[in-house]
Amino acid sequence: MKHRFFTADMKMSEIFHTNLNMAVLLPRLDMDFGFAEKTVVQCCQMHGVDCDFFLMIGNVYTFEDYLPDTEELHKLNIDKLLEFLLKSHKYYMEERLPHIENHLEKIVENGDASVQAILKQFYADYKQEVWNHFEYEEDTVFPYIRQLLNDKSKPNYQIDQFEQNHSNIEDKLADLINIIIKYLPGKLRTADRISMLQDLNALSADLNRHALIEDKILVPFVEYLEKQRHENN
Amino acid sequence: MKTIKILLAEPSDVIAAGFQELLGADSPFVICGCCSSAEGLKEAVVRYRPALLLINPSLLGDSAVTELSSLTDVNPHIVFVALVYQYFSASMLRPYAAVVDICDSKMQIENKLKQVLKNQDPSETGEGYELTQREKDVLVLVAKGLMNKEIADKLNLSVHTVITHRKNITHKTDIKSVAGLTVYALLNNLIDKDEVL
């Protein structure tokens, strides 16, 4: 089945009716609700957001088979993308992970002390791993991209070293969901457990899309920059 | 009826579309995704979690064994079936659990796919989803942070057998990370928290 990707002339509200998960992106894109009947391009203008960039993110976020075409990709506003990724990291670390941790604490509060310790340790390790991954991007990958753009000196890094270590993070998150469903004893704060599972599920989907943005936009764009630099030298 | 997800890796659009059509209606199978090259295969396996990969061996060439084992790393219970319409040597087909020829009838294809999955599914072979004592022994050592080689030495097993046990543990519990397996071992009282925390 061939579906239509998001376009500049459609109603902004339609995008969110199609994929409500995109709501979490608004703060990261410096946008807000209240679209009324405005089109995507109108809303983007109103908020000073690059419309092509918005569509690229929205399409990766929503359609599994979407891949930006070469021309779109070469026009990419990389500063905007890096800013978006940084804001996403901040959102996960400062909002989502602590929020989920709160649920976890409530769930294990009345349980056995050792179960409490085990799960808290698992979660702390998971958070650390996510942080390490983000830190690597922010301290190594992003500066490298800026160097490619601005600096003529020879970088001692290449994007193909960008380890695809998303899978570890995804595995741990899937394991946590599994543990909460299957192995944590029953009768432990069912309502909190349900909220936590919903939050974990949303986080997992969000992180998965985040990884796709890196795989489908960031990495191909940097490969393009590398090729250009290679040809100029 | 439970549907069985198949990932199709086939360079020809015509043949890929043919399989979608053939395994579409009134079959227990569903094609959850298609790849036309080896690139993106791992990502697709992670994303769609197919039970079976139906793949044209020409996509992997001589590196089939390493490529397929990297897919097993991300999805330990995936089954590989070759999809052929040209000659492949026996050694090229060795990594696959079965071979489907495009001249096979719909029924032959379905039976082949069902048969390989039946061989794979522990509930069909009577093992059930509970861990065996040997698997528990391995799990405890994994949770304590031992490497495969160390576990093999300790339990007097080959490294290969340890890896098989680990695959089965992950298949039965659906837990992939060592940290997750440690939590599992602790919650099931297989080890004491002082031993790992």
User: In Å, how far is B88's CA from the nearest CA of chain A?
Assistant: 31
- Could B197 and A121 be called an inter-chain contact, meaning their C-beta atoms sit closer than 8 Å? yes
Q: Using a CB-CB distance cutoff of 8 angstroms, which residues of chain A are in contact with residue B184?
A: 179, 183
Burial of B184 (0-12, 13-18, 19+ CB in 10 A): buried
Q: ipTM of this complex > 0.85?
A: no
Among A118, A167, A208, the residue with its CB nearest the CB of B183 is A118
Identify the pLDDT of residue B125.
Answer: 41
Q: What is the DSSP letter of A3?
A: -
Interface touch B176/A122, C-beta < 8 Å: no
Asked if A168 contacts A129 with a C-beta cutoff of 8 angstroms, the reply is yes
pLDDT at residue B193 is higher than 90 = no
**CB-based contacts of B14, cutoff 8 Å, min separation 6:** none
Cβ neighbours for B170, distance < 8 A, ≥ 6 positions apart = B76, B176
Q: Identify the weakest region by mean pLDDT among A90-94, A140-144, B93-97.
A: B93-97
A181 touches chain B (CB under 8 A): no
Asked if B193 and A172 come within 8 Å (Cβ–Cβ), the reply is no
Does residue B71 have a pLDDT over 90? no
Alpha-carbon torsion A17, A19, A20, A22, what sign? negative
* Residue B177 pLDDT exceeds 50: yes
CB contacts < 8 A, A to B, total: 59
Beta carbons within 10 angstroms of residue A75's beta carbon = 12
> Tens of pLDDT along B24-68?
767 888 888 888 888 888 888 888 889 899 999 999 887 888 888
Closest CA to A230 of A146, A154, A161: A154
Query: In angstroms, how far is CA B188 from the centroid of its own chain?
Result: 26
A181 contacts in B (CB within 8 Å)?
Answer: none
Of B43, B174, B179, the CB nearest to A122: B179
**CATH, range B4-120:** 3.40.50.2300
Whether pLDDT at A1 is above 70: no
Structural domain boundaries in chain B: 4-120, 133-196
User: Which among A171, A182, A208 has the least Cβ separation from residue B176?
Assistant: A171
Report yes or no on whether pTM surpasses 0.80. Answer: no
CATH architecture of B133-196: Orthogonal Bundle (1.10)
Rounded Cα gap, residues A69 and A147, in angstroms: 25
Tokens of A124: 């702390």
Interface of A with B in 106-125 (CB under 8 A): 114-115, 117-119, 121-122, 125
